[in-house]
Structure 1
């Protein structure tokens, strides 16, 4: 059996039909992500043959398709092909979740992938198709929430996030946080559900209260003058992969990426310490946060970071942490209406909004005290 290899993006592009505007291979084929995997496989094989001409004459038996992961937004498939020369080649097919264009700017995502890939982040973009993208396969395991608080891994995440924030992505440099929250709010406050129980839960929400919370928090965060970077915006454990043999960490999945506040990206990451069970008692302690900040601000000399820089970033991250709860709470309401995925999005709204209210007083007090003395 030939050696397994990771396909180089330029090699793929040379063997595939290129999109004239971007030189990224493209196919109009769509894959129905709601199908069971066995029924999906023939379409996935057809897609790969259409995109990569060196595979067009391979018999279907030369392909294997397996599920890598399935979250509440995307479905990831690993496709492996045994070529006539004996080599086996693996790549990843990512299927967008239905209706996700309502909350994700796919044009912005594709542009970002190109520049971030060139800077060494994530998988290489190999091709696009009707409802997804094809990327190189990363041979690594997905982190779990407890992994993120491992001091060595936390330091590496911080270091890479700083490097990620330094990548220059062409386009508007206006932070998107409040623009996106306003957009989500407008959509979320006028929903109707066919399910009576869902409608009853939805009717219990005070959008007047939420609007007031958003306004007040925006006013406060504006006073912090937080740096604007190109942010990942969704740095949960599922978007971090580790090749333990090589000791290499990979940041992946940039679909929510945009110009945004540095503190938002870090505060949002800290919220994800809660894991999939949303256990916010696992939110990082001040000592854990300072460890992260030192390696974010100066990975080469973390012990040389000044107390004032640590305090500033601590206030920044823990104020924008509140905005993260508002963002994903409103996001969840929209998903509750449009997503066919079997997930309790309405319940998730209340989890995030209740945690926002629980954390609000302490976080706002911290920010105001800092602003008064600075």
Structure 2
């Protein structure tokens, strides 16, 4: 039961409406949804705002008057995303997180999307998530996710390698567009090389002893909403949420320090910033797991090693994803260019430390540290 997730008893039922939105002419379909969700709104007064930050789906905000406080967010799934996103599992994850006050209200699903509550606050940028005042909130919120017990007695297992294999099977071997096909052949490693890399990642990273927890798995800056007035952050978009290695979720977030549209890997967090972040995370994680708040230097160092190793898996995962999106997505984004940015990551300094630590502290097969040993599955 690698990807089993249990929705708590008493969680609100989420209705499914028989409505299909045209991603290019969505107003008529959106008004059908609003008629059910906000029957007191006059259709002629409903305003719609298109958000342009997403590169998987299209997001429309529906509201009346001058205030967006009661806005309904309508998310239209991207073209062919059902090939690599389990939409039923996404809704389950959404409901679990909502039950634990970690997500906005999910109003309904429809044939090719879902509607949910608008969260007050601002979507963050790379410069924001480096601030200690904010990154401590992010670390604490991630710890809260990871401490959620949603497996109903099953021993959770990561489905990272299963998802990665599925992505690999969907990677295009050619493009109809000659320019894209030339870039694919000249700049992307061969299928044999990619398969070897994937096998190497699984063989080495699965031995690191990282606990399997409920993860967000896609914590880029725009998926973090900061409410300065309340002094907290909330995470949005749970398409990739599920049980995974703790270190993958953190390493994936560290990769996002580099940004998305204009990727700059000099912004990847250095060792000192990482150690501060990881200590704040472990203190909160232990607190949520009722294990006290004392964190040793060894625990922080072990997590540091695991996180920087799993950052490699994050790059590989999203590289495969981008190749698939380059084939199917209708969103105006250079997905092939996004693949190539992963080669820019300056791992040398951090990985020298990581390898040194591994060599002196443990062998892969015998790695048993208090971080994993004390974690309740």
Q: TM-score, normalised by structure 1?
A: 0.84
Cα offset for 1:211? 1.6
Cα offset for 1:144? 0.9
Secondary structure of 1:298 counterpart:
helix
Aligned position for 2:7? none
Q: Do 1:69 and 1:77's aligned partners in 2 also have CA atoms closer than 8 Å?
A: no
Aligned position for 1:253? 237
Q: How many angstroms apart in 2 are the aligned matches of 1:115 and 1:59?
A: 33
Aligned position for 1:4? none
Cα offset for 1:45? 1.2
Q: 1:335/1:360 Cα in 2 relative to 1: closer, same or farther (>3 Å)?
A: farther
Secondary structure of 1:54 counterpart:
coil
Q: 1:344/1:194 Cα in 2 relative to 1: closer, same or farther (>3 Å)?
A: same
Q: Do 1:191 and 1:337's aligned partners in 2 also have CA atoms closer than 8 Å?
A: no
Q: 1:246/1:369 Cα in 2 relative to 1: closer, same or farther (>3 Å)?
A: closer
Aligned position for 2:196? 212
Q: How many angstroms apart in 1 are the aligned matches of 2:115 and 2:348?
A: 41
* Aligned pairs for 1:329-340 within 5 A: 329-340=319-330
**1:183 equivalent among 166, 183, 187:** 166
Q: TM-score, normalised by structure 2?
A: 0.83
| Match status 1:199 vs 2:184 | no
* Aligned pairs for 1:284-295 within 5 A: 284-295=269-280
Cα offset for 1:27? 1.0
Unaligned stretches of 5+ in structure 2?
A: 1-11, 363-377
| Match status 1:113 vs 2:91 | no
Secondary structure of 2:193 counterpart:
helix
When the two chains are superposed, the root-mean-square deviation of aligned CA atoms in Å is: 2.5
Q: How many angstroms apart in 2 are the aligned matches of 1:272 and 1:45?
A: 35
Secondary structure of 2:47 counterpart:
strand
Does 98-107 or 199-208 show the bigger shift?
Answer: 199-208
**2:347 equivalent among 348, 359, 369:** 359
Does 89-98 or 257-266 show the bigger shift?
Answer: 89-98
Aligned position for 2:206? 222
Deviations 1:231-261 (A, max 9, x none): 1011011000012222221111111111100
Q: How many angstroms apart in 2 are the aligned matches of 1:53 and 1:288?
A: 45
| Match status 1:133 vs 2:114 | yes
Q: Do 1:319 and 1:364's aligned partners in 2 also have CA atoms closer than 8 Å?
A: no
Cα offset for 1:88? 7.9
Secondary structure of 1:336 counterpart:
helix
Aligned position for 1:296? 281
**1:238 equivalent among 211, 222, 230:** 222
Q: Do 1:81 and 1:88's aligned partners in 2 also have CA atoms closer than 8 Å?
A: no
Cα offset for 1:372? 4.6
Q: Do 1:264 and 1:324's aligned partners in 2 also have CA atoms closer than 8 Å?
A: yes
**1:346 equivalent among 336, 352, 366:** 336
Q: Report the number of matched residues.
A: 340
Cα offset for 1:168? 2.3
Unaligned stretches of 5+ in structure 1?
A: 1-21
Secondary structure of 2:214 counterpart:
strand
Cα offset for 1:124? 1.0
Aligned position for 2:31? 45
Aligned position for 1:17? none
Aligned position for 2:318? 328
Q: 1:156/1:293 Cα in 2 relative to 1: closer, same or farther (>3 Å)?
A: same
Q: Do 1:112 and 1:169's aligned partners in 2 also have CA atoms closer than 8 Å?
A: no
Does 281-290 or 243-252 show the bigger shift?
Answer: 243-252
Q: Which has the higher contact order (CA 8 A, sep 6+)?
A: 2
Aligned position for 1:64? 47
Q: Do 2:69 and 2:118's aligned partners in 1 also have CA atoms closer than 8 Å?
A: no
Q: How many angstroms apart in 2 are the aligned matches of 1:152 and 1:160?
A: 13
